[in-house]
Amino acid sequence: MKKTLLTILIGMIAFTVEVNAKATRVKLASVAPAGTPWADVMYRIQKKINKESNGAYNVKVYPGGQLGGENEILSGVRGGRIEFAGLTTGAVANVVPEMNVLEMPYLFDNIKQADCVLDNHLIDPVGKLLSGKGLVFISWAENGFRSIGVKGKAIKVPADIKGIKVRSQEAKTHIAFWKSVGASPVPIAIPEVLPALQTGVVNGFDNTPLFTMAAEWQTTIDNFTFTKHIYQPAVIVASKKFYDAQPEDGKKVIMGDGNGLAGEVRKGVRALDGRLVATLKKTGVAIHNPSAAELAQWKKASAGQEKTVLGSLGGQSKAIYNAVQKGKQACR
């Protein structure tokens, strides 16, 4: 009897090892640092897929740019080397130019309008565009409203930033914004930004308070100005090569709650806003909230990308822009 029981136990162990060995390894990557709401959602996706697939998938999360900057991660997803990713729309715009439209300066009037347009008017057209570039749309996510951090004097109006070297995201609309307000943009990938700020390669940047603090960029600046000039969505995507190769039940597990994730990500990001501003102040960074007159100068200086940039983006950029405008009308 002891021998029989031992044989059964050995068989169970062997079976477990065999099942685990057959699990499909899945990489989920992002430049979002660990300990942020973005990373928290990635770990929830990991847990959900691992559980609901009954061991068919073994998801591992790679936060903080462990697999490279956004361009490297994007290339990996398209090539099937990385199965999942959380990416800003500005990064995806490098292969899906229409995504640049979503990051035109002062495109959305407020956060509620942005949510409504993205969730109710853009999922289908954006999903089709991503599919054509080797990506499967899973859900919207959010970075938030980008503002300006600099070393040196406070930046209150566009004239204050004239000639200053600033880190720019590698996207046409971002570079065009900086040029329109008189700054000198230097495109730099996320993993390289902190050393560039520390060594003076650039003296400023734009991003959200959350990303600024998570990436420790606040350690290099004296002032932070809430221009909120670009609302930056993000997307959770899967590799189309990977997705198309999965069985139907696997696809359902991968898709999960779909865009239902969007509300969860946004809630987590926005819940930290007030506390982050207070934390920035405690680190010695001066905060400037532009007056209505000052904000009007930023809007005026950066206005007109629908005339100067839109036509150069290519693809269906004009159709996406029109969809945004139509959505804004419907979402009022």
**Would you give per-residue pLDDT tens digits along the chain (332 residues)?**
444 433 433 343 333 333 344 789 999 999 998 888 989 999 999 999 999 999 999 999 999 999 999 999 999 999 999 999 999 998 999 999 999 999 999 999 999 999 999 999 999 999 999 999 999 999 999 999 999 999 999 999 999 999 999 999 988 999 999 999 999 999 999 999 999 999 999 999 999 999 999 899 999 999 999 999 999 999 999 999 999 999 999 999 999 999 999 999 999 999 888 888 999 999 999 999 999 999 999 999 999 999 999 999 999 999 999 999 999 999 98
Q: What is the pLDDT of residue 123?
A: 97
Residue 304 backbone phi and psi in degrees, to 5: 100, 10
Range of the domain at 259: 2-330
Number of domains into which the chain is organized: 1
CB 215 within 8 A of CB 54: no
- Please report, for the domain that includes residue 47, its CATH number: 3.40.190.170
Question: What six digits make up the tokens of 90?
Answer: 């500005």
Q: What is the pLDDT of residue 275?
A: 86
Prediction pTM value: 0.88
Rounded distance between C-alpha atoms, residue 322 and residue 291, angstroms: 31
Q: What is the pLDDT of residue 43?
A: 95
